[in-house]
Amino acid sequence: MKRIALLLVLVSLAGMTLAQGTLSSKNWETLAQVSYEKSEDEYGELFVPVFGESIRSMEGKEITLPGYIIPFEGMFKPDHIIISSLPVAACFFCGSGGPESVAEVYMADPIKYTANAIKVTGTLELNDTDFNQLMYILKDARLEGPAN
């Protein structure tokens, strides 16, 4: 009986994730190819991103990322968002994604919050030194509309 209940829960969770859908794009696929190097600072061990040539070739260029807005610091900021290639239930902050599945986005113009998938386009900045920010940052980004 416990196995059946567990199976039903797992199937419904999988269905919810599939219903929202993981967004894929060539840009997210390339950004996912990051590796990490172990390092230390005054607070202890940390993992520093190592950007390969395919990722470095995107730096400073305008790219488009589809994704879901992830509110951070307990609130939504219309001109500074985090976008995830994964739905909220599976994103880096809440579930199974890694740090390569999210990007910090500075919008040129404020946007309204939506739980639906969107597309943003901006200039990619790589970050491997400031650990108060994400490793992928889009500057001067604009909303391109729904991701579908």
Per-residue model confidence as pLDDT tens digits over 49-86:
999 999 999 999 999 999 999 877 667 788 999 999 88
Which among 97, 112, 114, 103 has a CA at the least distance from the CA of 139? 103
Between 80 and 10, the more confident residue is: 80
Residue 62: exposure state from Cβ atoms within 10 A (0-12, 13-18, ≥19): middle
d(CA 16, CA 89): 9
CA dihedral of 117, 109, 122, 38, whole degrees rounded to 10: -80
Specify the pLDDT at position 148.
72
Specify the pLDDT at position 19.
37
Across 126-142, average pLDDT: 95
Q: What angle do CA 93, 95, 99 make, to 5 degrees?
A: 50
Q: Is domain 21-146 annotated with CATH 3.40.50.970? A: no
| HSE-CB of 22 using CA atoms within 13 angstroms | 14
d(CA 148, CA 7): 31
pTM listed for this prediction: 0.79
